[in-house]
Structure 1
Amino acid sequence: MIELMLFFCFILSSLFIFFNSNSNTKSSPKSYPLIGNYLSISANRHRFIQWTSDAVHNSSTLTVVLRLPFGSNHVITGNPTVVQHILKTNFSTYQKGPISHTILFDFFGQGIFNVDGDAWKMQRQFYNHVFSAKSLRHFLHVVETELNERLIPILTVAAANNTVIDLQDVLQRFAFDNICQIAFEYDPTCLIPSMPHASLAVAFEDAIRITIERFRTITPWKIKKFLNIGSEKRLKEAVSEIRDLATKIVNQRKQELETVGSDKSVDLLSGIISAGDTDDRFLMDIVISFIFAGRDTTSAALTWFFWLIYKNPRVESEIMCEINRKPNSDTLVYDEVKEMVYTHASICETMRLYPSVPIDGKTAMADDVLPDGTVVKKGMMVSYHPYAMGRSEKLWGGDWSEFRPERWLEKDEGTETVRFTVRDAYTYPVFQAGPRICSGKDMAFLQMKRVVMGILRRFVVVPVVDGGGGEPVFVADLTSKMKGGFPVKIKERKK
């Protein structure tokens, strides 16, 4: 028995030396035999994004390797050269992979965020079509209508009554109505004066949160799913509610196409149905993926934008100067919104500090060596970290913590005209990069700039949280948001 115990101690000691000697950087979280970094991961689960961001910053290569239980590893990087390697140079090697596909399947199914290869290429073609210049002009019209007929009246009432509203919730409702109308020609009427109970929004929130927890928990979620208990039971209920809406949207579009045909329809769903893809399950997956992309990402960016300009009145003044140079009308043309350079830079600066998708992962489909020397084995997860990259002194300089839109602008020496400067997509991958770069990027900027103009021209947004608890708490599931919402008061702007 003594010999057996001594042998066991020898094995543990050897494993301990092995794990620590193979750490990618001396700044990696402390690793233990068998369980790897599990203790550190578990202790920081509530602040995983911030914790991994610190680990990336402490690495000389901006890449860190997390040791998971029983020998598996997870590479997390904020190195632009590595990001380009996984998102472009070796695109075929880094895919969603079977593990991510299984974890995300109950929510996203075969939607574009959860597929690779031909299935992804086919959906990508339809997405590119729906985001054509013609469609973007139509989308701006949808935004104008929603802004002037729903959002502005709700804010006007809030200002008159001096009531506190949750701007995060309002912006999510606004984005939800917008994306459903442009992609499916369906109006869910979430943003109306009665502000109906958003059970569907709760279902989305729960489905996203539980799905992402599957990546972070050591408890086998498949057992809970089989037994239909706990969080997996709630996920099943939430997804069922979401798919009921998706079914309603799909059936409505099919009926309308049978009645009026597809010649006048430019929406995404009509295009896919007209092309011959009529499987209801697949069409529902398309609907859910598109709603997720359009609802959560732009609303998250706008929520943090209004917080940051409140904290930086100089920036708000510059934005107001730009807004006041535009015609004071309820409807603006496409080019006028597109040319809002300083507002565009301010939104980019917001997403540098608070990216809507703070971390995104791929799976290595073959052994590889990253440009910084990190060895990757087949089946390992490799993630790039936009949140850490946007806060890196190595990438953005000593003033990285400042909210300074001017870092995105430069003056033309001949005309003194200020123009926007595009940053390298692999240093600023908030819309992803490479072949999978977000097709809806231009649409998102149009929407956000028009909303900013519409709100700030009429109102001042005053966060309530500032006087009662300091800075909002950043939380992230698949997308980032403010914990507990964004309570604000709306004040009429003095003319």
Structure 2
Amino acid sequence: MTLQLLASFFLFFCLPLIFLILSKAYSAATANSNKKLLPKSYPLIGSYLDVAANTDRRIQWLSDIVLISPANTYTLHRFLGNRNVITANPAVVQHILKTRFPLYQKGHAFQEALRDFLGNGIFNTNGDNWKFQRQVASHEFNTRSLRKFVENVVETELNDRLIPILAAAVAQNQVLDFQDILQRFAFDNICRIAFGFDPEYLSQPLGQSKFAKAFDDATEISSRRSSSYALPLIWKVQKLLNMGSERRLREAVSEVREFAKNIVRDKKRELAEGTSPESADMLSRFLSSGHSDEDFVTDIVISFILAGKDTTSAALTWFFWLLSKNPEVEKKVVNEARESQSALFTMK
């Protein structure tokens, strides 16, 4: 009887009180979301309330935090004592990525969250496996033939697709979603460089690509897994029950990996028969150098697409946005481009 009374008291009085306290804390965090304040940390949940309040501006929020933190380094507290160390200090970055790199391994939780999508690719592995992939990739990227191949791919994509789309938009006084255009541009380029496959994502009329959509969904959901500030139990239960975002992740990963493996098989057959029209892409180079394991090269190529797709389009988008906000810099860039073009024609 006493236990029942205690349980009733907890349900009717304590839970609403806890909910009220958390609601007020969340409201306060939301109100301060645009202020440059260090997040508050609470027992068990850490800084979850501040994280939730800044979901739509997480990168900017984290940037603000490190800028006002001592040594530009901050420890973000998560659920049940888990922590993330965030830094913008060049000396710390050099220590982690160069000076003591072998000491900073990708943890089990990180690898587990990304394994369905990235397998054992370079972004999700440690030790000798990482070092081997790094050496092979570094060697290939330093070859003159690959650099020339990349130049040809980008030049073709520029002349045949991007510039005509922009010219047509200017002629018709049309407004474009430039970020979408640049994402398509980057996706075509990196797929041709990695696979030797042209998805024609920037070709007119601009339509959807099943492979691009699946790749975007797999990237987004896997990223939410790895950066989740809640317990990983949530996505694990969803995966077990094949529901919610985990169901879409399973479908997207299956589409991406099956598509990639089909290209690997076709490329292996073409190389064996000597019918491959071009063999300068990364996949052909890996296969030609004796790395024929299907899963291994698939993991590597997916990682290369991930490395080149969003990074390139995001950098270009911010570049043009910054130019639009700084007309004097825009004029200097245009003049430099014209001078370089004139010098190039003079040499020819």
**Bucket of the pairwise TM-score, normalised by the shorter protein:** 0.7 to 0.9
Q: Which residue of 2 aligns with 1:137?
A: 148
CA distance in 2, matches of 1:228, 1:263: 42
* Residue 154, structure 1, aligned to residue 165, structure 2: yes
The structure, 1 or 2, with the larger RCO (C-alpha pairs under 8 Å, 6+ apart) is 1
* Residue 236, structure 1, aligned to residue 250, structure 2: yes
CA distance in 2, matches of 1:179, 1:245: 15
Over aligned residue pairs, what C-alpha RMSD do you find?
2.6
Question: When you count helix as a share of all residues, which structure comes out higher?
Answer: 2
Q: Which residue of 2 aligns with 1:77?
A: 87
Question: When you count strand as a share of all residues, which structure comes out higher?
Answer: 1
Deviations for 1:325-365, whole angstroms, at most 9, x for unmatched residues? 13369xx69x99xxxxxxxxxxxxxxxxxxxxxxxxxxxxx
Normalising by structure 2, what TM-score? 0.81
- Which ranges in structure 1 are unaligned for 5 or more consecutive residues? 5-26, 337-495
CA distance in 2, matches of 1:174, 1:76: 31
Check conservation: 2:48, 2:229, Cα contact below 8 A: no
- Which ranges in structure 2 are unaligned for 5 or more consecutive residues? 7-36
Normalising by structure 1, what TM-score? 0.58
CA distance in 2, matches of 1:217, 1:61: 24
CA distance in 1, matches of 2:294, 2:278: 22
CA distance in 1, matches of 2:49, 2:140: 46
Q: Which residue of 2 aligns with 1:8?
A: none
Check conservation: 2:190, 2:309, Cα contact below 8 A: yes
Deviations for 1:206-239, whole angstroms, at most 9, x for unmatched residues? 2222112112241521110010111111111221
From the superposition, tell whether residues 187 and 264 of structure 1 become closer, same or farther in structure 2 (CA, over 3 Å). closer
The 3-state SS of whatever aligns with 1:191 is coil
Q: Which residue of 1 aligns with 2:56?
A: 46
Check conservation: 1:130, 1:267, Cα contact below 8 A: no
From the superposition, tell whether residues 105 and 226 of structure 1 become closer, same or farther in structure 2 (CA, over 3 Å). same
Partner letter of residue 136 of structure 1?
Answer: R
Alignment of 1:157-236 (within 5 A): 157-214=168-225, 215-219=227-231, 220-236=234-250
* Residue 97, structure 1, aligned to residue 107, structure 2: yes
From the superposition, tell whether residues 41 and 51 of structure 1 become closer, same or farther in structure 2 (CA, over 3 Å). same
CA distance in 1, matches of 2:198, 2:209: 15
The 3-state SS of whatever aligns with 2:318 is helix
CA distance in 2, matches of 1:183, 1:216: 30
The 3-state SS of whatever aligns with 1:95 is coil
CA distance in 1, matches of 2:42, 2:189: 49
From the superposition, tell whether residues 192 and 328 of structure 1 become closer, same or farther in structure 2 (CA, over 3 Å). farther
How far apart are 1:282 and its partner, in Å? 2.1
Moved more, 105-114 or 145-154: 145-154
Partner letter of residue 216 of structure 1?
Answer: S
Check conservation: 2:78, 2:229, Cα contact below 8 A: no
Percent of aligned positions that are identical: 52
Deviations for 1:264-299, whole angstroms, at most 9, x for unmatched residues? 733321222233332222222122111111221111
Q: Which residue of 1 aligns with 2:13?
A: none
Q: Which residue of 2 aligns with 1:297?
A: 311
